[in-house]
Structure 1
């Protein structure tokens, strides 16, 4: 499959897994404390990915190379990763839960659509990702679809907790952009660390607030849901970040509520209202506008050294200072020499240049 469409499909699968977690949480957890739910989800994500990492590292192919997705996280990258964990795994969920306690459900759903917008704004304004009219209109269509999808009659007016929910969206937008800075590293390790930190923190908040652990079956179901909806989803999100950039990955991820509604309708059968079809149409138009993007111009690659899974394509013409079996893709630290050329590209890890 074309690497471009593989990256897009990766982002959409990440959105589908995350979107499916919401109705599954409702079906599995009932009246369990919101912080308890978040803690079990994140803990399931962290523990599940940790087990997956151990299993992966024990599997050695015939060449003796371990199946890894990236090299070790560098010291210079630790502040970015720590900031992403604190913003997205600790501050974001805490602000959301506090805001939900005083804000109507309909208003909360509408406000949560701000995450995609804020993610794109930070990517475009702070990190200077390129944006053209087509990508901007695609984002507008996806966000408009999300607003319609969560619109409920009588949901007008915002409670005082609305600002807390906006703050949560801002935290997740910051998380998305900071994670971009470490996205060349092992996606499982990044997502696993977030889960292992955010899980205990949210559980501690739940216990301090007087919550109690649910039944063993509910705990297992919640952690399994968290592993798929938070853990595997985040791994795929990080992989998509490498190839699509933050704003575009965030746009595709913004269709997650559509998958959640579809699964909800499957669990609790009902004929979708007219707004559902309008929202689905807008999101489809937005995705289509993004998929048909072709950003091409002459650009110069500055000298760069990093490590990530790669093939020997036009950006990876290098020698190896170790015995190389010829297997691709593979991972090792490698240098990029300066090069100027023209081709279609995304703001991926090799094309983060100014325009």
Structure 2
């Protein structure tokens, strides 16, 4: 009898990442008044990088270099360059000549491109429920922005291409980050925040932007720590357990969460379309939660490092003194094994399907 894959910790992580990122949007909109968009992006990322760096130092009681392979450093560098630097710059260039409504619609391309790249390029497995769930969630996101598009029909030329390019950068970033998602999520998110923050802030200052007051800087960095930093940590944890396409689908609920917060805390008014979107997005998430994926599969031998317990996939001995506490983190090797059980395309289930 097949067991239903449902509310795993990874699902909570993906929805938590979407909630924090979605919540950051209305707050960032308030902070944007009187501040350069590129400078604000830099401050948000700096808040993420510095905040997560301090948390990691306290957690580890000092600096510890993660054990990434050469190829993993390559994937991480590509993810940071595309998602932390190129993506935000393309978005700002696009927003300069594109209406907010058109930009909102175009930003929904990220979830679609993330899934397509995961399925076509990286051969991540999918099934009917996942595809339908993705379609329903994206349709909901489009409808959420659609009423505003009646106010403007301009800005669908070069600016649109810049925004579409930003979505492509972030979609590639999501897929590349999955390649290193078994590593320390705090380190990955913190490094991305520091690099993106320094680069974007430097570009803004070079273009003549002036730093806002101390209070405004602190507010921006706080929003960045939660909406960009902690959100990205949860996103990496979700990638580790769900795979790229499913994580991207859950994360695409962020615009709805942001809109809900704008309604509850900023008094924005909504019409009937909002509640249609609520039903669509809830239905899309439910389709993913109702997914059943179980078959006989083979795990090839692999050596990597991540936080784990000694479950069916972690039956190894230790070459160091161990006090028996779990979960713990160390480099370990998985011996080949063939078995059947419900699973996601997580870091231990990246096998091909016939």
TM-score by length of 2: 0.95
Please say if residues 72 and 186 of structure 1, whose CA atoms lie closer than 8 Å, have aligned partners that are also in contact.
Answer: no
Q: Paired residue for 1:167?
A: 165
Query: Is contact 1:71–1:307 with CA below 8 Å preserved after alignment?
Result: no
Aligned mates of 1:295, 1:272 — CA distance in 2: 38
2:66, 2:319 → 1: CA distance?
Answer: 16
Q: 1:56-112 CA distances to partner (integer Å, 9 max, x unpaired)?
A: 0129xxxxxx9x9x9522222111000000000000000000000000110000000
Residues 266-290 of structure 1, C-alpha deviations (whole Å, 9 max, x = no match): 2321442111111111110000000
Aligned match of 2:22 in 19, 23, 38? 19
1:48 maps to 51
Q: Is this contact kept in 1: 2:262–2:268, CA < 8 A?
A: no
Distance 1:74 1:4, change over 3 A: farther
Which secondary structure does the structure 2 equivalent of 1:263 belong to?
A: helix
Trace 1:145-160 onto structure 2 (pairs within 5 A). Answer: 145-151=140-146, 152=148, 153-156=150-153, 158-160=156-158
- 3-state SS, counterpart of residue 161 of structure 1: helix
1: distance between equivalents of 2:284 and 2:113? 17
Equivalent residue for 1:30?
33
Q: Which runs of 5+ in 2 are unaligned?
A: none
Structure 1 distance, partners of 2:145, 2:197, is 27
What residue number does 1:97 align with?
A: 92
- Farther-moved stretch of structure 1 (188-197 vs 28-37): 28-37
Report SS of the residue matched to 2:317: coil
Match in the other structure for 1:299: 297
Q: When the two structures are aligned, how many residues end up with a matched partner?
A: 346
Could you report, residue by residue, the CA deviation over 1:21-50 in whole angstroms, capped at 9, with x for unpaired residues? 110112233131100110000000000001
- Assess if the C-alpha contact under 8 Å between 2:6 and 2:289 holds in 1: no
Distance 1:139 1:269 in 2: 30
**Secondary structure at the residue paired with 1:306?**
strand
Cα separation, 2, equivalents of 1:326 and 1:276: 51
CA distance in 1, matches of 2:251, 2:335: 33
Q: How far did 1:334 drift? A: 0.7
Match of 1:254 in 2: 252
Structure 1 length-normalised TM: 0.94
- Structure 1: 5+ residue stretches without partners: 60-65
Offset of residue 319 of structure 1? 1.0
> Cα distance 1:350–1:84, how it changes in 2: closer, same or farther (>3 A)?
same
